[in-house]
Amino acid sequence: MSRFSQGRFLISAAAPGQFPPDLGAEVAFVGRSNSGKSSAINAISQRHALARTSKTPGRTRLLNFFELGTHQRIVDLPGYGYATGPEAERLTWQPLIDALKGRESLRGLFMIVDSRRGLTEGDEGLLAWADPPMRAPLRVHVLLSKADKLNRSEAGKVLRETKAALGDRASAQLFSVPAKTGIDEAQRTLAAWLEDKVFDDP
C-alpha cells in the first residue's frame, strides 16, 4: 500500500510570493546535482515521474513543490555544485531558501549525498545554514545515495564515517533505488516529519 496518498506537482516557485500557502508540513530535498535527488524523490513518493518536473529546462533553478497528502508537501530545491560557482549559486538561492526556512510548515531537510563522494563543500554549506548560531537548528536527514555502487564493507564504512562527521547535526542512512536499500526507512522518517503537525491554539 502506498504510504503517501497523493503525489502531485503543485508549483515551481521563482520567488517567495509564489510559494504555496504556509499550512501543514513540508520537507525540503537538497543535494548536489547528479546526487540522485530526483530518483530519491520518485522512489520515496512512489511516483515514478514526480520529480521529472524539476528536471525540465527552465525549472531546474526553481523551488518545485509537490503534494504527498493533504497539506503535506515536499520541496525540491535546485541541485548545487555545478557550472555557475558557489557564489553565484548562493546569490540566486539565498533569498529563496531563507524564505523557505522562515515558513512554519518546514519540518526539516532531506540531504542527498552520493555515497561514493561523501559530504561535499556544498553539503557542508547547507548544514551550516540549517544550524545557525543562536537559533534552533533545522532537522536534517542524510540519504547516502547509490549505495548499490559500494560493496557491503565500503557501505558500512561510509555510513560510519558520515555519521561521525555529522555528529548531532543530522541523522544518516544508506539508500539505493535499484537495490531498494533504505527506501522504507526514508519513507518512515519522511512520514513522521510530515505528520508532526503544529496545531494552532484553539
Total residue count of the chain as it appears in this document: 202
Q: Which of 7, 24, 78, 79 binds ligand GDP (CB under 6 A)?
A: 79
Q: Does 64 bind ligand GDP (CB under 6 A)?
A: no
Burial of 56: CB neighbours in 10 Å, binned 0-12, 13-18, 19+: exposed
What x-and-dash track marks residues 80-119 binding ligand GDP by CB under 6 A?
A: ----------------------------------------
Q: Which of 59, 149, 163, 169 binds ligand GDP (CB under 6 A)?
A: 149
What are the backbone dihedrals phi and psi of residue 145, each rounded to the nearest 5 degrees, phi first? Answer: -80, 165
When the beta carbons of 155 and 170 are compared against ligand GDP, the nearer one is 155
By CB under 6 A, which span of 12-20, 62-70, 91-99, 175-183 interacts with ligand GDP? 175-183
Should residue 162 be labelled a site residue for ligand GDP when binding is judged by CB under 6 A? Answer: no
**Shortest Å, Cβ 27 to ligand GDP:** 16
Task: Report the C-alpha gap between 62 and 167 in whole angstroms.
Answer: 31
Please give the Cα distance from 172 to 162 (Å, whole number).
7
The window from 6-14, 35-43, 94-102, 121-129 that contacts ligand GDP (CB under 6 A) reads 35-43
To ligand GDP, the closest distance from the beta carbon of 131 in angstroms equals 23
In one-letter notation, the amino acid at residue 135 is R
DSSP line for 59-126 = TTTSEEEEEEETTEEEEEPPPBSSTT-HHHHHHHHHHHHHHHHT-TTEEEEEEEEETTT-S-HHHHHH
Summarize as ranges the residues that interact with ligand GDP (CB under 6 A). 31, 33-39, 79, 145-146, 148-149, 176-178
